[in-house]
Amino acid sequence: MYKKPSYNKKAAPKKRRLEVGQEIPLKIKRMGINGEGIGYFERTICFIEGALPGEKVIAKITEIKPRYMNGVVVKIKQASPDRVEPVDSYAGEVGGFELEHLAYPAQLEFKRDVIKQSLTKFRPEGYKQYDLRPTIGMKDPAGYRNKSQFQFRKIDGKIAAGLYKTNSHDLVDLETCSVQHPLTLAITRYVVDLLEKYNVFVYDERRDTGVVKTLVVRVAMETNEAQVVFVTNEYDLPHEEDIVADLLEKFPEIVSIMQNHNPGRTSLIWGDNTWLLHGKEYITEKLDGLTFKLSARAFFQLNPKQTVKLYDEARKALELSENDNLIDAYSGVGTIGLSLAKHAKEVRGMDVIPESVEDANDNAKANGITNAHYEHGGAERLMPLWAKEGFKPDSLVVDPPRVGLDDRLISSILKTKPKHFVYISCNPSTLARDLVRLTKSYDVAYIQSIDMFPQTARVEAVVKLTLK
């Protein structure tokens, strides 16, 4: 009887069983949207913190998921030509410095690529043909952050002020910080000394005790005025008068000292109640020829130098005429709308923070701008309301938070269909998601990326949309 011959087929190799803490060799192919290096180990995608494209590394696995692994660089066997020595020793430990090891020209190219990655993921109509323009960077990408929000805790018996390690509540004491305006850091470090001097207890999260939780310092780049806000767990700030007197003697730039009450364990920086300890309730900043009043909780761009470039790009993209009605959604203290008011017939804006709306209207008055008005509330509610009142926008500029546009606002935009529309985004992922719906009625003329936050993976973009 004929017997069918057998063949020795090569068995498919079994994947090795990996464990957290194990070290593996990887070649890094590209960078992900958070600035991490991406490689593949036995066909499993690996996200490696601190690795750069083209590098050969030894990585330690920190997390294993069914479809991917996370890890950190242990050893670099072949370095990228774009790798540089970080300025800050803690770069890579806390957020805000994750790209300090990448040469600045390469950072700018990466940020353009992040937008491309997000578009490829969400696939809005026509995305392959979008004009993605080179990222506009800074001549000197350091010392640009005009505001600091440092947590205060005790480490080894000493008061520390800094930021948490990524994905943890382990505080890193930041004695240096190259991206912060030098005055914000100098004031913060001096407050550390004062709290030690007067034996003021800082917050203990585990026990939910102590007084000072966070110090917020903002500096107006043009006027050099500074504001200090003590965010406290309790109403009373011990040795308040002594601390205020010492601060004013040391830093004549300080014109406003506030206290905010934020009791208990919470991930939020701010509590509901803020009051004045000394001076004014605001500082004054100048931007693009206009003067802006900034109260403690009011939103203002963290990088004023790049903000001027950002708003200039928005103005060019909008192509306003003197007969246009403009809506400034997510207006903050009115910086965008007021900078555009002279090019439009009327500007209306809105914000969900009451203090920002008050500041915006005060800023319009202070700058002699009579054709701009701001109201408290969400754009998704006010735009339809204004439409019923007969205010039809010819132009619209939106600058939403990282979560992107509210669904109801997108519906309102698609219903009212402003002829000129600019979307300023600080999150490529939510931008690409929103464009899926917006491109039903609009074409994307171009996307201009702008580096508002050097040394980080974050990127801002100005999107010019044209009505179909």
Just list the catalytic residues: 426
**Residue 137's closest CA among 310, 286, 287, 312?**
310
Q: Which residue has the tokens 């702008």?
A: 450
CA separation for the pair 58, 310 (Å, rounded): 40
Q: Which residues of 402-429 are buried (b: 16+ CB within 10 A; e: fewer)?
A: eebbbeebbebbeebebebbbbbbbbbb
Burial of 445 per CB tally in 10 Å (0-12, 13-18, 19+): middle
CA separation for the pair 437, 439 (Å, rounded): 6
CA separation for the pair 234, 339 (Å, rounded): 40
First to last CA, the chain: 76
Task: Give the Cβ contact number of residue 138 at 10 Å.
Answer: 17
CA separation for the pair 70, 92 (Å, rounded): 15
**Residue 350's closest CA among 376, 373, 371?**
376
**Residue 256's closest CA among 234, 236, 276, 235?**
276
Pairing state between β 420-425 and 395-398: parallel
CA distance readout (Å), 269 to 11, 95, 387, 434: 57, 16, 36, 28
CA separation for the pair 319, 114 (Å, rounded): 27
Give the DSSP letter of residue 96.
T
